[in-house]
Structure 1
């Protein structure tokens, strides 16, 4: 009985720490960066992040959120999310990073046999209001990163549907809600909704998501929300797995 009590207490402490992660985040402005590695260079890129880059980011005030590799092995990319106090701080921190002597030394040593990165894509984001009130769930074995493109003027309708229905219906099927963002479009256009869901493995995820799509409660909520027209024009979805050193899992 004593051992059972101790195990239960340890689990409560562990899950409590996980649940507090989102509350403890200091960032208000986020950047999702996707690196396409040159052929054969992904192991070196991962090692550079693990051994050097992440620590330098942290030293300069950036917040390491999550680091992923794609499940599809032919997709030669590494995706991660950083947090900053605000947009101006982001630019200032990256300038400091570029000029940092430690980073310059690490970078030059890492490319002695060729550059590691062929291309970098950046997406700037803020937290989606009202969609991040849940605690960060326990670690997942698989993630799906989902990006929603809305018809003109429909982004608020989409957020309302997630806030009032979709998030709870995901949880009903066993899917885990992680962070929800709105993109910051430099041209002032309508933002996209970006979020990621988790589950134990890809088969479990696909089964749960299929059950969500067929759920009469979801169908009713979707149809009611679209009485004045369709909301979502298209969705990009990609399966990812966290790297062992990722802060969020």
Structure 2
């Protein structure tokens, strides 16, 4: 198992618009293709204007197959265009996490 931990930095004042756009267009597609979302959060204290979400995959290969299928969907491509036009994001990062032998499994 791996966890894809994604962190997005949103332009100040744009969080509500970013979340609305994602919830209406991106979220349904990611649920369809990516499978298990472990959490989708906004930062309440610390580095503000930050979104963090985590997705569970069986392996890196599983992630690649799922993301490849999603990227080929015309609805995802339309969402990416809307997202690019909205220009809500400053930065995107992702980290792949591997569980320890004693980590609770999802």
Task: Verify same fold: TM over 0.5.
Answer: yes
**8 A Cα contact 1:33 1:80, kept in partner:** yes
What's the C-alpha RMSD, in Å, of the aligned pairs? 2.2
Give the match's secondary structure for 2:13: coil
Report the TM-score, using the length of structure 2 for normalisation: 0.81
Q: Alpha-carbon deviation of 1:100?
A: 1.8
Q: 1:90 aligns with which of 57, 63, 84?
A: 63
Distance 1:74 1:88, change over 3 A: closer
Q: Distance in 1 between matches of 2:94 and 2:34?
A: 19
**8 A Cα contact 1:69 1:79, kept in partner:** yes
Which 5+ residue runs of structure 2 have no aligned equivalent?
A: none
Structure with the greater relative contact order (CA < 8 A, sep ≥ 6): 1 or 2?
A: 2
Q: 2:89 aligns with which of 105, 117, 136?
A: 117
Computing the radius of gyration over CA atoms, which structure comes out larger, 1 or 2? Answer: 1
Moved over 4 A (4+): none
Q: Alpha-carbon deviation of 1:111?
A: 4.1
Give the match's secondary structure for 1:127: coil
**8 A Cα contact 2:34 2:63, kept in partner:** no
Report the TM-score, using the length of structure 1 for normalisation: 0.38
Matched residue, 2:77? 104
Q: Distance in 2 between matches of 1:64 and 1:31?
A: 10
What does 1:129-140 correspond to in 2, within 5 Å? Answer: 129-132=101-104
Q: Distance in 2 between matches of 1:131 and 1:98?
A: 31
